[in-house]
Amino acid sequence: MTETDDHPSIEVSVLSCGYDGRPVLRDLTFTVRPGEIFFIIGGSGCGKSTLLRNLIGINRPLGGEVKFFGQTIDHGDPAGRRERLKTFGVLYQSSALWSSLTLRENVALPLAEYTMLNKREIEEIATLKLTQVGLTGFEDYYPSEISGGMKKRAGLARALALDPQIVFLDEPSAGLDPITSRKLDELVLQIRELFGTTLVVVSHELASIFSIADRVIMLDKDEQGIIAEGPPVELARSSRDARVTEFLHRGDRPENMP
């Protein structure tokens, strides 16, 4: 039995997040199940990015804790924290690719940092990861030579380099046209199906939310916390909170939206 059989992928308990001791979010409690596509949604300024920074360990929580498969990331134990961080990958909103490196070299970075593989082995794995995201033949291209959607795929390949159990995606559809965004959603589904990966997505894009999310939590700026949790279709149909229905029924209605 593996550790994922005994524990949720992520357990968040009474988590408070903020800056300089001032909370942006208070007392968040939720879990993410293994293999789930879990969205963090809400309007601008509600704390989505703040929560993500706390989940991935960039910022220390003001209170509460975050566990991955039952284990807490200990900020005071650099070696232990390093080992836990290897269990997840991150696709940043800007893709965060190094402009001076080729796509293969970008994907190779975490392999060089976290493994003892030799150069040839690292290059082979980096090439494989680019193939998995549909970038075969672009290994030696630089970020400036590819489209925005391809940059997102390359960033995702790097996030997958260490075969993580969890991948975090920060506004993956930002700046993409609807067709490219839909293709990226399809890739996210493929990754879950092929590898059983747990995916946590920060997004406000309704098309993606209704297309691929198993469950969502919705944050609210004034509430400084979670105001809704559940499958997005169910929330759109049955929520009695005007803030939730306004968010989920805004603008054009995606085809699979109730």
Concatenated DSSP letters of the chain: --HHHHS-SEEEEEEEEEETTEEEEEEEEEEE-TT-EEEEE-STTSSHHHHHHHHTTSS--SEEEEEETTEE--TT-HHHHHHHHTTEEEE-TT----TTS-HHHHHHHHHHHH----HHHHHHHHHHHHHHTT-TT-TT--GGGS-HHHHHHHHHHHHTTT--SEEEEESTTTT--HHHHHHHHHHHHHHHHHH--EEEEE---HHHHHHH-SEEEEEETTTTEEEEEE-HHHHHHH---HHHHHHHT-SSPPTT--
pLDDT for the residue numbered 87:
81
Please say if the pLDDT value at position 210 is more than 70: yes
Burial of residue 60, with CB atoms counted within 10 A of its CB: 0-12 exposed, 13-18 middle, 19 or more buried:
exposed
Prediction pTM value? 0.90
pLDDT for the residue numbered 2:
43
| pLDDT, mean of residues 94-114 | 93
| Block residue for tokens 């506004």 | 171
For the stretch 173-193, pLDDT in tens is: 888 899 999 999 999 999 999
User: In 3D, which of 95, 172, 170, 102 has the Cα closest to residue 139?
Assistant: 102
Query: Is residue 90 very low, low, confident or very high in pLDDT (cuts 50, 70, 90)?
Result: very high
Please say if the pLDDT value at position 4 is more than 70: no
Please say if the pLDDT value at position 240 is more than 70: yes
> How far, in Å, CA of 131 to CA of 154, rounded?
10
* pLDDT: which is higher, 250 or 108: 108
pLDDT for the residue numbered 250:
79
| pLDDT, mean of residues 47-65 | 92
Please say if the pLDDT value at position 233 is more than 60: yes
Query: Is residue 254 very low, low, confident or very high in pLDDT (cuts 50, 70, 90)?
Result: low
> How far, in Å, CA of 204 to CA of 75, rounded?
30
For the stretch 127-168, pLDDT in tens is: 999 999 999 999 999 999 999 999 999 999 999 999 999 999
Query: Is residue 73 very low, low, confident or very high in pLDDT (cuts 50, 70, 90)?
Result: confident
pLDDT for the residue numbered 3:
45
User: In 3D, which of 243, 250, 150 has the Cα closest to residue 205?
Assistant: 250
